[in-house]
Structure 1
Amino acid sequence: MKRKANPQGYNVVVFDCDSTLSAVEGIDLLAEKYGVKKEVEKITHHAMNGHSNFADALAFRLQLVRPCKSDMKWLGGQYIEREVPGTKELVTKLKKLRKKVFIISGGFDSAIKIFASHIGVKKSNVLCNSLLFDKSGKYRGFDNSNPLSKNHGKKIVLKQITKLGSTVFVGDGVTDLEAKNVVDLFVGFGGVKVREVVKRESDIFIDDNTLLRMKDIAIGKNIAF
């Protein structure tokens, strides 16, 4: 059943990052840089559309790419360069309304935190996967104790965030949709990529190329999309 926005609004607004706040799939960009784009994009497509195990997909893609520490600064810049129109403006408006703004992503914290600082989300409110590097900056794995490295990880993390108050979650993929029943409202975003199952199952679906209408949803307006 599709839910409508609560007229009283939401205290907490949570965003996915890749293909939501930025028109980037971070792991795919790294794959392109390392010449394994085709193989990695195929795995990403299956994972984001719910056709494969997320934990296995993450491990396999990282093993193919093996990014180094210096790649994270470069990737952070790519997130900024490809910011979805109006994202920084939206975050500013939400903060003025005293909304708590979070980013939850299966992407990599050292890159996404660069982007988060740019759009005005504090680093402590950014929850992502952590990559592990040796002293020379070479890839040596990822933190597999992090719930976000596993299936249904966003659902687990969001359960904790919802303790802060009524929560709306915005995302583009099936791993986002899986958390629908944990939050008070799930908003699907198709401004970068439309995934049919997300469009069909989300409470509200935005297919604009901007997230600016999220401000109205956050304060409880029910708008026809």
Structure 2
Amino acid sequence: MSLAHTPLLVVMDVDSTLSNEEGIDELAWAAGPDIAAQVAAITTRAMAGEMDFASSLEQRIATLKGLPASVIEHAKARVTATPGARELVDAVHRAGGLVCAVSGGFHELVDGLLDSLGVDHWQANRLAVSEGVLTGAREGPLVDAVAKARWLERWAEESGALRTVAIGDGANDLDMMAAADVSIGFMPKALVRQQATHCIDARDVSQAIGLLGLERSAPAVANEE
């Protein structure tokens, strides 16, 4: 592989990794506290590997059926960047690398955030909306554990990356972490902790900068006399 190719490709999960929140849980609050609690419980089980992701996502989206599409904007406003996210993206870019993201959440909630962070490419699921209301289904290809690994491999091939890194927190990230040269568990669930190359246990994703041997900030330029 040519050394002229991208030196580093970092592929990150979004919900609870690049963002502080689980997007589906934020949407569920619009359906009321009982539904929100039910959805949050399913999310927790799925992230721990106790439920198949596809079926758990289907169950959670179904609870949103009939909600006005306006709830998407309300949920989107509550999705915030994890501390250190912009620092990490900038550090990878300074090293000539790419940052990509794959989310089991939804484009409608994460697109603005990822664009603001300077993420290069991303993929996520999409919510189905009809006549201004959520249908309780999704549309388009499913982004699950298998898809996350495939996108990492596709971006690596397209960029000619010399080293690949996967960062995530839950069971849905295990396939892409296995496909990467280096895997970092971020506030990881037990299954991820067991399999990750490194783990970050503080809610500051910029700690990955040191783990990857990158510079935290641009080197100071010496004054010329």
TM-score interval for Structure 1 and Structure 2 normalised by the shorter chain: 0.7 to 0.9
Secondary structure of 2:82's match? Answer: coil
The C-alpha deviation readout for 1:189-212, integer Å capped at 9, x for no partner, is 01xxx4122112111111122011
Query: Unpaired segments of 5 or more residues in structure 1?
Result: 1-8
Q: Which residue, out of 124, 129, 138, partners 1:128?
A: 124
Identity over aligned pairs, percent: 28
Report the CA distance between 1:219 and its aligned residue: 4.0
Compute the TM-score of the two structures, normalised by the length of structure 1.
0.82
Pair 1:142-2:132 in alignment: no
Which residue identity does 1:71 align to in structure 2?
A: V
Rg larger for: 2
Secondary structure of 1:152's match? Answer: helix
The C-alpha deviation readout for 1:33-80, integer Å capped at 9, x for no partner, is 211112111111111111111111111110112354333333232122
Compute the TM-score of the two structures, normalised by the length of structure 2.
0.82
What pairs up with 1:198-217 in 2 under 5 angstroms?
198-217=192-211
Counterpart-to-counterpart distance in 2, 1:181 and 1:133: 35
| Alignment: residue pair count | 203
Counterpart-to-counterpart distance in 1, 2:123 and 2:184: 19
Secondary structure of 1:209's match? Answer: coil
The answer to whether the Cα contact below 8 Å between 1:188 and 1:199 also exists between their aligned partners in 2 is: yes
Which residue identity does 2:98 align to in structure 1?
A: K
The answer to whether the Cα contact below 8 Å between 2:91 and 2:214 also exists between their aligned partners in 1 is: no
Which residue identity does 2:91 align to in structure 1?
A: K
Query: Unpaired segments of 5 or more residues in structure 2?
Result: 1-5, 216-225
Report the CA distance between 1:151 and its aligned residue: 5.2
Q: Which residue of 1 aligns with 2:59?
A: 60
Report the CA distance between 1:159 and its aligned residue: 2.2
Q: Which residue of 1 aligns with 2:220?
A: none
Q: Which residue of 1 aligns with 2:17?
A: 20
Runs (4+) off by over 6 Å: none
Which residue identity does 2:191 align to in structure 1?
A: V
